[in-house]
Amino acid sequence: MNHDSYPDDYIRAILNSVKTIAMVGASPQNVRPSYFAFKYLAERGYDMIPVNPGQLGKALLGKQFVASLAEIGRPIDMVDIFRSSEHVMPLVEQALAVVPLPKVIWMQLGARNDEAAARAEAVGVKVVMNRCPKIEYGRLSSEISWMGVNSRTISSKRGPVPTQGMRLSLNRASVAGGDTLASDRAAKTRNETG
pLDDT, tens digit (0-9, with 9 covering 90-100), for 92-132:
999 999 999 999 999 999 999 999 999 999 999 999 999 99
With the C-alpha atoms ordered 91, 57, 176, 132, is the resulting torsion angle positive or negative? Answer: negative
What pLDDT digit, counting tens, does each position of 142-187 carry? 776 555 555 555 555 655 565 666 555 565 555 544 434 444 555 5
Phi/psi class of residue 110: alpha, beta or left (left: φ > 0; alpha: ψ in -120 to 50)? Answer: left
Taking the domains of the chain in order of start, what are their residue ranges? 8-135, 159-193
What pLDDT digit, counting tens, does each position of 25-41 carry? 999 999 999 999 999 99
CATH of domain 8-135: 3.40.50.720
